[in-house]
């Protein structure tokens, strides 16, 4: 059955697709100070200019006081009619249950279904994106749809075939990615932040007050919009991260309150910060529990063999192929082939990075065994590289935290033993979170890999392209080293 373009749009979809006014912060120019000026698309999004970071106002950084780094309203469910061919291609891929090329015992019939779908994708028109650029929410949906199509296309290709992304999806994806200042590959924001909807819409009464509306977006009232496999395991994997994002809102508020008190700096402020840091440790412990809860709905072998391969980027390609974008030579300014093509990773979440920056963990000295002088990548460098894959406003948020003239770690070291103890509780909680992450990785990736082949752990990479076990243990050890004596 060919890709069928439909034109049905619900009233709620129409409402969420309204074009933002020109003076809305999401429609303003897109400078980003995280990466130095002059970076090309080959190295990452072109990020020139300086953002005003004189205020901590949440709207400057697309951080909602109720939902944190998650958008407060469900993301756009479908693009307007002009871009319906993309939506139809994605829907057909999911409907036809396309199978991974690496699937064991894949049948000829399954290969043919994928082959026909890829042919239809190659025959799609190359649709202009100019009318999308006035709306941040539509650009996000376009990036989500196009990257999902691209990953479906690449990971159903025979392993002996070169990876050439058709111009029909590659050219608009490169343009959308340039506007969003994101790499042209699926990211954490595509699979988690902007890939959810409500199971139950809020009632009229719930919408009457902000606090009650926020209750509608609770930890158990979400489902994923789009999935590669359609399995509960994949959905639970995505939603596990979404729940952590929502629970982490309290951590963001505690950070803000602590920073406010540091500016006061008197004895009352010290007592308040002590309380805030102790409370922050409890919130991080709750995040750890949510992380471990992924085991309730996501089977490790299903995840490793059926779900995870869809996420892989160029640096985790099973055949180690270079991904080439057809039509890139038609761009002005001699755009080079993108190099940042790692897949989505929980390490691309701004929440945990924010904890690192706030507590000063990102500036703590690494053990020499994990520095480049020993031939191994510094975990701090790899963490910063992951920020390239974050929405640009979230990068700006982290940049602003990093520029804080009164770091809390420095403040704590000059004050009371009780404050030092509370700080160490928070750092210890972050270490505990990373210990749990290592256990999850062992269960979901290293274990299945070792059962599949001898020495599976040795060369494993995360979907974000990092040498997995070494990287996670290095980050965890750096966190432990940050405890104050």
Q: How confident is the model at residue 334 (pLDDT cuts 50, 70, 90)?
A: low
pLDDT digits (tens, 9 = 90+) for 48-85: 333 333 344 455 688 998 999 999 999 999 999 999 99
**Cα–Cα distance between 430 and 285 in angstroms, integer?**
8
Q: Measure CA of the first residue to CA of the last residue in the chain; give whole Å.
A: 67
8 A C-beta contact, residue 330 and residue 171: yes
8 A C-beta contact, residue 239 and residue 196: yes
pLDDT digits (tens, 9 = 90+) for 205-251: 666 655 444 545 677 889 999 999 999 999 999 999 999 999 999 99
pLDDT digits (tens, 9 = 90+) for 28-52: 444 443 333 333 334 444 433 333 3
**Cα–Cα distance between 402 and 230 in angstroms, integer?**
39
- Please report the pLDDT score of residue 430 as a whole number: 97
pLDDT digits (tens, 9 = 90+) for 437-471: 999 999 999 999 888 865 444 456 555 445 677 77
Q: What is the mean pLDDT of the chain?
A: 84
pLDDT digits (tens, 9 = 90+) for 252-293: 999 999 999 999 999 999 999 999 999 999 999 999 999 999
All residues at 6 or more sequence positions from 241 whose CB lies less than 8 Å from its CB, including other chains:
188, 192, 346, 349
Q: How confident is the model at residue 382 (pLDDT cuts 50, 70, 90)?
A: confident
8 A C-beta contact, residue 135 and residue 296: no
8 A C-beta contact, residue 345 and residue 317: no
Contacts 24+ apart (CB under 8 A), 46-53: 46/178, 46/181, 47/181, 47/392, 51/396, 51/399, 53/396, 53/399, 53/400, 53/403
8 A C-beta contact, residue 203 and residue 250: no
8 A C-beta contact, residue 169 and residue 150: yes
Q: If you ran DSSP here, which 8-state letter would residue 47 be given? A: -
SS3 323: strand
83-89-91-94 Cα dihedral, nearest 10 degrees: -150
SS3 222: strand
SS3 164: strand
Closest CA to 294 of 192, 391, 226, 144: 192
Beta bridge partners of 461: 467
Which region holds residue 465: left if phi is over 0, alpha if psi is between -120 and 50, else beta? left
Output the CA–CA distances (angstroms, integers) from residue 258 to 19, 61, 254, 271, in the order listed: 37, 19, 6, 10
Token pair, residue 242, equals 């979404």
Binding-site annotation, residues:
437
Closest CA to 290 of 338, 325, 242: 242
Binding-site annotation, residues for heme b:
437
**Cα–Cα distance between 196 and 327 in angstroms, integer?**
32
């Amino acid at each position: 059955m060919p890709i069928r373009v439909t034109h049905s749009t619900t009233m709620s979809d129409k409402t969420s697709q309204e074009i933002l006014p020109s003076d809305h912060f999401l429609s303003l120019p897109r400078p980003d100070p995280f990466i130095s000026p002059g970076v090309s698309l080959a190295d990452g999004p072109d990020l020139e200019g300086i953002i005003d970071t004189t205020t901590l106002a949440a709207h400057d950084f697309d951080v909602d006081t109720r939902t944190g780094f998650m958008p407060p309203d469900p993301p756009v469910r479908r693009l307007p009619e002009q871009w319906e061919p993309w939506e139809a291609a994605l829907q057909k891929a999911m409907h036809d249950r396309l199978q991974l090329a690496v699937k064991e015992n894949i049948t000829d019939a399954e290969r043919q279904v994928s082959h026909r779908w890829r042919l239809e994708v190659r025959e799609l028109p190359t649709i202009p994106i100019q009318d999308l650029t006035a709306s941040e929410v539509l650009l996000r949906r376009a990036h989500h749809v196009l990257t999902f199509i691209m990953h479906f296309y690449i990971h159903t290709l025979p392993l002996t075939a070169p990876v050439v992304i058709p111009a029909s999806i590659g050219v608009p994806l490169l343009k959308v990615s340039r506007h969003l200042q994101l790499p042209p590959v699926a990211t954490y924001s595509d699979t988690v932040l902007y890939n959810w909807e409500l199971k139950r819409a809020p009632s009229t009464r719930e919408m009457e007050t902000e606090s009650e509306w926020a209750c509608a977006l609770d930890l158990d009232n979400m489902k994923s919009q789009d999935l590669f496999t359609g399995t509960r395991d994949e959905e639970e994997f995505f939603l596990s991260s979404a729940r952590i994002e929502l629970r982490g809102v309290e951590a963001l508020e505690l950070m803000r309150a602590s920073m406010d008190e540091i500016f006061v700096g008197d004895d009352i402020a010290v007592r308040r910060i002590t309380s805030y840091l102790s409370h922050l440790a409890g919130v991080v412990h709750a995040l750890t529990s949510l992380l471990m809860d992924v085991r309730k709905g996501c089977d490790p072998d299903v995840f490793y063999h059926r779900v995870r391969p869809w996420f892989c980027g160029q640096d985790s390609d099973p055949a180690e192929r270079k991904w080439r974008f057809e039509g890139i030579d038609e761009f002005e300014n001699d755009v080079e082939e993108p190099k940042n093509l790692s897949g989505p990773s929980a390490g691309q979440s701004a929440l945990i990075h924010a904890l690192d920056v706030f507590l000063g963990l990102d500036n703590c000295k690494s053990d020499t065994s994990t520095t480049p002088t020993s031939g191994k990548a510094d975990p701090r460098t790899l963490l910063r590289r992951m920020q390239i894959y974050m929405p640009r406003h979230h990068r700006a948020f982290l940049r602003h935290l990093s520029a804080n003239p009164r770091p809390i770690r420095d403040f704590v070291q000059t004050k009371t033993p009780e404050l030092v103890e509370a700080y160490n509780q928070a750092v210890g909680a972050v270490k505990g979170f990373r210990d749990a992450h290592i256990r999850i990785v062992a269960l979901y990736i290293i274990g299945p890999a070792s059962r599949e082949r001898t020495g599976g752990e040795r060369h494993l990479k995360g979907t974000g392209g990092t040498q997995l076990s070494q990287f996670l243990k290095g980050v965890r050890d750096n966190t432990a080293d940050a405890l104050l004596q």
